Amino acid sequence: MTLTVTAPAAVTDRRSARAFVDTHVVPYADDYDRNGRVPEDLLRQVAAAGLWAPFLPVESGGAGMDLVTLGEVHEEVGRGCSSLRSLLTVHTMVAWTVQRWGTPGQRERWEPALAAGEALGAFCLSEPGAGSDTAAITTTAVEHGDGWLLNGVKKWTTGGQRADLFLVFARTGASIGAFLVPRYAPGVQVRPIDDMLGTRASMLAEISFQDVALGPDALLGPSGFTAGMVLTGTLDLGRYSVAAGSVGIVQACLEASAAYAAHRRVGGRPLAEQPLIQAKLSDMVTDARAARLLLAEAGRLKDAGESSTIMATWIAKYFASTAAARHAAEAVQIHGANGCSPDYPVARLYRDAKVMEIIEGSNEIQRITIAGQAERETTR
Amino acid sequence: MSNTPTQQILDFVRGRYPQAEIDETQDIFALGFVNSLFAMELVMFVEKTFGVTIPNEELRIDNFRTASTMAALVGRLSPTLAVA
Ligand SMILES: Cc1cc2nc3c(=O)[nH]c(=O)nc-3n(C[C@H](O)[C@H](O)[C@H](O)COP(=O)(O)OP(=O)(O)OC[C@H]3O[C@@H](n4cnc5c(N)ncnc54)[C@H](O)[C@@H]3O)c2cc1C
């Protein structure tokens, strides 16, 4: 594997993101997948391109990027490598939450490091016994002196093997609060989880917190009834990023399949001339566009501060993730045995796409939420 | 007076829960439809509609119980908006 040495140009829009991904990510993504990690070299390139948290304000080292553009950038990253996109997703969730809910002191402490990628963030909600059912988490934060004492175990933490700052959701009596926990706080233990089905290079971990003493400034956002809003907002942004990454997977499936079908010959003709194959390709084209529009609409509503962005994001993520899983399966089909081999990227896309249907609200939870809203709005 | 903050907030809540019969003094938490998704939407709606930023210390349940208390919060954060 050749490591790139040229310093990347700043990523400011879809075009520059596409160029970055084509140069620094696409040629190596299968290696990352096989090695089970995104290398430090690439993490540095991402930092040099200003990609970690470009939506943060300029004063903090961000670029004040709007969320429509951020969605486009995450789509491009997802087209190249879902593991890197996953790392970007959880980092985005942490950085956005600090910006949205942090006190001036918290923002000053963390934003510059998060913008520069000097501190990488990870999101800790799921536990061995609680995934979709977030109300079932058992990690607790109890008041301790003027701060907090954290106890519990988090599982499936994307980037957990590498992250410097964990955003941990824990019970505080009747509600759930968000806590900023530095990796090296005494009592934090990180156990790598390797060999996942998909996003294999995203460095998952199980993290245990044993009597971790935190200062009063560890709590992010309000406590009490609105503490749940911190989680809702964090997940909303994560869902937006996963929706974007899923659009990227559909696009990658399309590009790989169209190229393959143009060259592979059956019965003396290119595969691309077979009506059954054309049907698959046309569905990829259509779904990629439809998913991209749903994503852009969710982003537009976010930039406008419209509350309807939350449902728009659920819908975009539901549509894009199911489309990704469907088309990744068809992309493997179009490639035949080659699609099952390590010589083409579609096997990786297929495995990564399945993960999109589970993370940030599984398909079932998305359907329940979307239908619940439809029911509320139409029943009188 | 359909344009008072109270009325706009009521319209928003009714728009999301058409089956609920609520007035400005009814405790929407007691009615049981506030989940964290709706709470987030409500806060975003108030911030966007009235051009205010609600600081963390004002994000207390008592400020959000009724359309009237929410309108009063808006009035405190943006004294130029008449609270009716
Ligand atoms: C690669 C990967 C990365 C991840 N990264 C993170 C991370 O960074 N941080 C983090 O906190 N978590 C992370 N997760 C965990 C992820 O959020 C959970 O897997 C997800 O929320 C689902 O929870 P669960 O796996 O416990 O499944 P469960 O909640 O046990 O659900 C099992 C199945 O039942 C279905 N189901 C659940 N409830 C219902 C219902 N009411 N009706 C019908 N069906 C239902 C689900 O959809 C699912 O199909 C990651 C997971 C994966 C695979």
Give DSSP secondary structure letters for A50-114.
Answer: T-S-TTS-GGGT-----HHHHHHHHHHHHHH-HHHHHHHHHHHHHHHHHHHH--HHHHHHHHHHH
Three-state SS at B75: helix
Residues of chain B contacting residue A301, judged by C-beta atoms under 8 Å apart:
none
Task: Give, in order, the Cα–Cα distances in Å from A345 to each of A25, A34, A204, A238.
Answer: 12, 12, 22, 25
- The answer to whether A360 is a known catalytic residue is yes
What digits encode the pLDDT tens for the residues B20-43? Answer: 788 888 888 887 777 777 888 888
Query: How far from A202 is each of A35, A156, A190, A236, B41, CA to CA, in Å?
Result: 11, 10, 15, 20, 32
What is the value of pTM for the model shown?
A: 0.94
Choice between A47 and B62, residue whose per-residue pLDDT is larger: A47
**What separation in angstroms does the CA of B2 have from each of B9, B10, B11, B84?**
10, 10, 9, 10
Lookup result for tokens 């003094």: B25
Task: Using a CB–CB cutoff of 8 Å, tell me whether B84 touches chain A.
Answer: no
Dihedral sign (CA B12, B15, B16, B22): positive
CATH classification for the domain delimited by A227-378, as one of 3.40.190.170, 1.10.260.40, 1.20.140.10, 1.10.510.10: 1.20.140.10
**CATH for A14-120 (3.40.50.720, 3.40.50.10240, 1.10.540.10, 3.60.150.10):** 1.10.540.10
Per-residue pLDDT of chain A (380 residues; tens, 9 = 90+): 555 556 788 999 999 999 999 999 999 999 999 999 999 999 999 999 999 999 999 999 999 999 999 999 999 999 999 999 999 999 999 999 999 999 999 999 999 999 999 999 999 999 999 999 998 999 999 999 999 999 999 999 999 999 999 999 999 987 889 999 999 999 999 999 999 999 999 999 999 999 999 999 999 988 766 777 889 999 999 999 999 999 999 999 999 999 999 999 999 999 999 999 999 999 999 999 999 999 999 999 999 999 899 999 999 999 999 999 999 999 999 999 999 999 999 999 999 999 999 999 999 999 999 998 888 777 65
Checking if the pLDDT of B3 tops 90, the result is no
> Do A233 and B40 make contact, defined as CB atoms within 8 angstroms?
yes
Counting every residue, how long is chain A? 380
Instruction: Say if B51 falls within a structural domain.
Output: yes
Measure in Å the smallest separation between the Cα of A369 and chain B Cα atoms: 10
Q: Which of A111, A127, A357, A360 is catalytic?
A: A360
Domain span at B72: 5-77
Report residue B81's pLDDT band, with 50, 70 and 90 as the boundaries: low
Regarding beta strands A165-172 and A188-193, do their DSSP bridges make them parallel or antiparallel, or are they unpaired? Answer: unpaired
Q: Provide the ipTM.
A: 0.76
What DSSP character marks residue B57?
G
By the 8 A CB rule, do A295 and A320 touch?
yes
**Residue type at A363?**
N
Q: Where are the domains of chain A?
A: 14-120, 122-226, 227-378
| B37 found inside a domain | yes
Q: What is the CATH number of the domain that holds B73?
A: 1.10.1200.10
Chain B contact set for A216 (CB, 8 A): none
Q: In chain B, count of helices (H) and strands (E)? A: 4, 0
pLDDT band at B59 (very low <50, low <70, confident <90, very high): confident
d(CA A346, CA A185): 41
Would residue B83 count as lying in a domain?
A: no
Q: Which two tokens stand for residue A191?
A: 């156990």
Domain count, chain B: 1
Cβ contact, residue pair A222, B59, below 8 Å: yes
Residues with CB under 6 A from ligand 1: A 90, 123-126, 131-133, 156-158, 196, 199, 204, 355, 358-359, 362, 364-365
Q: What is the pLDDT of residue B84?
A: 44
Correct CATH for A122-226 of 3.10.50.40, 3.90.950.20, 3.20.20.140, 2.40.110.10: 2.40.110.10
